[in-house]
């Protein structure tokens, strides 16, 4: 298992001692054992990393597209070569079951890095508009602040497009999952990225994260995490008139219209919520079912969730705080009158940050468990009377990240999806597309990740008139 932690920061192409002495313990959430310590970065580390990134910027921005593409391709190959290491590290620090760690946590970033190697080579950074040549130029130094729920995916979804655009990067990963970030730094180094193009500072959010978000040498802050912190980062960036991309929470609706394949819609919906122990910002945590099919859907969901045994298909939550938070939401759901049809607030094991996979029926739209992001294996099933009612409920939260619609045919489902306030909607089980733009409406965020839309976040536009 790759839990041999570095005791320094990766800055300017080398592992350097941290400015301070403090460290952060990394805990395996399945058995609560400390598996490593990483340095707790300070403003001084962040400053050194931003200087290194700024020094490397002119050279990297001027590097021909084909060379940048080849180096991103080398990062992709390095991730592929260390796939097993990555999966084992994500299992150790996040608690993801091995099959999920391999397929998604290690597999998806390889695909995304590969997509940016290709885009870096083929993207047109110049276009003609009348007598103007319009150039897309790198924004500059990027401060990337990432969460723990998809530790490597979130890193690659920011770093790969930033590098493809010609930007240099300072990464501050989540304190719960720094080992995956260190592994990524090793891969970036071995791939031969020039010194300073990618830099890593581990540390606490309110210390290292805040220093990075507020640093005057950072031109764009890309953040994924909670709405509360995102709001703060957006305000700091706004005050400095700095670009910002925010990927925040969600409370996505899985709308099952009359005529849909109910068993499939419920089965896929339950799987979607239970995957990664519900720690997915785009999870369909609200299932909306027509009143005529409601009881059948609840019974199908209860049967489906029985297959998600904690400790097997469902891992622990990332830490004790998240477990308590999620159990608090389950208790609140009961207090507000929702009916538990599976799971409940009791912890399934004495050790490890596990929560019982939980399904609530008789959830009404104003309940806390229908409004707030729980970030655990908890599904709320709501009843609607007609399509207008379904749409009102689906759009009735502050969030707008994702969703799903199921109907007898894709046209009917798509017609409903067009009215949803959400950045991504899957039609009748449409597959995840790593090239499609990902991001939120309303308080789910600002900006898009992945594919060409993700790349353009890191570009400035300049027009030259002839």
Give the per-residue contact string, 132-151, with ligand NAD (x = CB under 6 A; - = no): -------------xxx-x--
Query: What's the token pair of residue 406?
Result: 């199921």
Q: 151-168: b or e for each residue (b if 16 or more CB lie within 10 Å)?
A: bbbbbbbbbbbbbbbbbb
Active-site positions? Answer: 247, 281
d(CA 83, CA 364): 43
Per the DSSP assignment, residues forming a β-bridge with 405 are 255, 427
> Least Å distance between CB 345 and ligand NAD?
16
- Tell me the angle at which helices 107-122 and 65-81 cross, rounded to the nearest 10 degrees: 170
d(CA 276, CA 254): 18
Cβ–Cβ under 8 Å, residues 306 and 275: no
Q: Show contacts with ligand NAD in window 315-354 (CB under 6 A).
A: 322
**Which residues have C-beta within 8 Å of that of residue 369, sequence separation ≥ 6?**
329, 330, 332, 333, 336, 338, 360, 363, 378, 380
- Which one of residues 13, 143, 205, 400 is an interface residue with ligand NAD (CB under 6 A)? 205
Would you count residue 247 as binding ligand NAD (CB under 6 A)? Answer: yes
Compare residues 72 and 237 and give the one whose CB is closer to ligand NAD: 237
Cβ–Cβ under 8 Å, residues 442 and 398: yes
> Least Å distance between CB 400 and ligand NAD?
13
> Least Å distance between CB 112 and ligand NAD?
15
Would you count residue 272 as binding ligand NAD (CB under 6 A)? Answer: no
Binding segment toward ligand NAD, per CB under 6 A, in 33-41, 48-56, 224-232, 392-400: 224-232
Sign for the pseudo-dihedral over CA of 415, 416, 419, 424: negative
Residue nearest to ligand NAD (CB): 205
Give the per-residue contact string, 227-246, with ligand NAD (x = CB under 6 A; - = no): --x--xx-------------
- Which one of residues 164, 181, 185, 213 is an interface residue with ligand NAD (CB under 6 A)? 213
Place of tokens 């830099």: 199
Would you count residue 175 as binding ligand NAD (CB under 6 A)? Answer: yes
Query: What's the token pair of residue 363?
Result: 């959830």
Cβ–Cβ under 8 Å, residues 248 and 227: yes
Would you count residue 209 as binding ligand NAD (CB under 6 A)? Answer: yes
> Least Å distance between CB 326 and ligand NAD?
8
**Which residues contact ligand NAD by CB under 6 A?**
145-147, 149, 172, 174-175, 205-206, 209-210, 213, 224-226, 229, 232-233, 247-249, 281, 322, 373, 375
């Amino acid at each position: 298992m790759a839990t041999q932690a570095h005791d320094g920061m990766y800055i300017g192409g080398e592992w350097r001692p941290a400015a301070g002495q403090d460290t952060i313990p990394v805990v395996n959430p399945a058995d609560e054992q400390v598996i490593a310590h990483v340095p707790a970065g300070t403003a001084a580390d962040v400053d050194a990393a931003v200087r290194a990134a700024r020094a490397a910027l002119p050279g990297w921005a001027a590097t021909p597209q084909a060379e940048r593409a080849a180096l991103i391709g080398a990062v992709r190959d390095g991730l592929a070569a260390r796939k097993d290491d990555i999966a084992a590290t994500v299992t150790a620090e996040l608690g993801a079951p091995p099959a999920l760690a391999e397929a998604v946590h290690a597999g998806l970033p390889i695909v995304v890095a590969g997509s940016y190697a290709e885009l870096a080579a083929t993207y047109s950074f110049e276009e003609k508009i009348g007598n103007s040549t319009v150039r897309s130029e790198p924004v500059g130094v990027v401060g990337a602040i990432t969460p723990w729920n998809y530790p490597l995916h979130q890193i690659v979804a920011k770093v790969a497009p930033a590098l493809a655009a010609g930007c240099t990067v300072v990464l501050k990963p989540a304190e719960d999952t720094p080992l995956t970030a260190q592994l990524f730094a090793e891969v970036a180094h071995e791939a031969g990225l020039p010194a300073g193009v990618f830099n890593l500072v581990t540390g606490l959010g309110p210390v290292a994260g805040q220093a990075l978000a507020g640093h005057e040498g950072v031109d764009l802050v890309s953040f994924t995490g909670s709405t509360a912190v995102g709001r703060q980062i957006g305000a700091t960036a706004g005050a400095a008139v700095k670009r910002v991309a925010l990927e925040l929470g969600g409370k996505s609706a899985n709308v099952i219209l009359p005529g849909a394949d109910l068993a499939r819609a419920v089965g896929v919906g339950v799987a979607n919520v239970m995957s990664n122990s519900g720690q997915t910002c785009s999870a369909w945590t609200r299932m909306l079912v027509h009143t005529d099919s409601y009881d059948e859907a609840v019974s199908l969901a209860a049967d489906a969730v029985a297959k998600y045994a904690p400790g097997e298909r469902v891992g622990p939550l990332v830490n004790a705080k998240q477990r308590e938070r999620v159990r608090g939401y389950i208790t609140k759901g009961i207090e507000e009158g929702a009916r538990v049809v599976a799971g409940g607030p009791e912890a399934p094991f004495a050790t490890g940050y596990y929560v019982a996979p939980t399904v609530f029926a008789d959830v009404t739209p104003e309940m806390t468990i229908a409004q707030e992001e729980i970030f655990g294996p908890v599904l709320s099933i709501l009843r609607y009377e007609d399509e207008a009612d379904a749409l009102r409920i689906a759009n009735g939260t502050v969030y707008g990240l994702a969703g799903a619609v199921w109907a007898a045919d894709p046209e009917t489902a798509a017609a409903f999806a067009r009215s949803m306030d959400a950045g991504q909607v899957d039609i009748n089980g449409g597959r995840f597309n790593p090239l499609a733009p990902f991001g939120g409406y309303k308080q789910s965020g600002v900006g898009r990740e992945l594919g060409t839309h993700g790349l353009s976040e890191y570009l400035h536009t300049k027009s030259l008139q002839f």
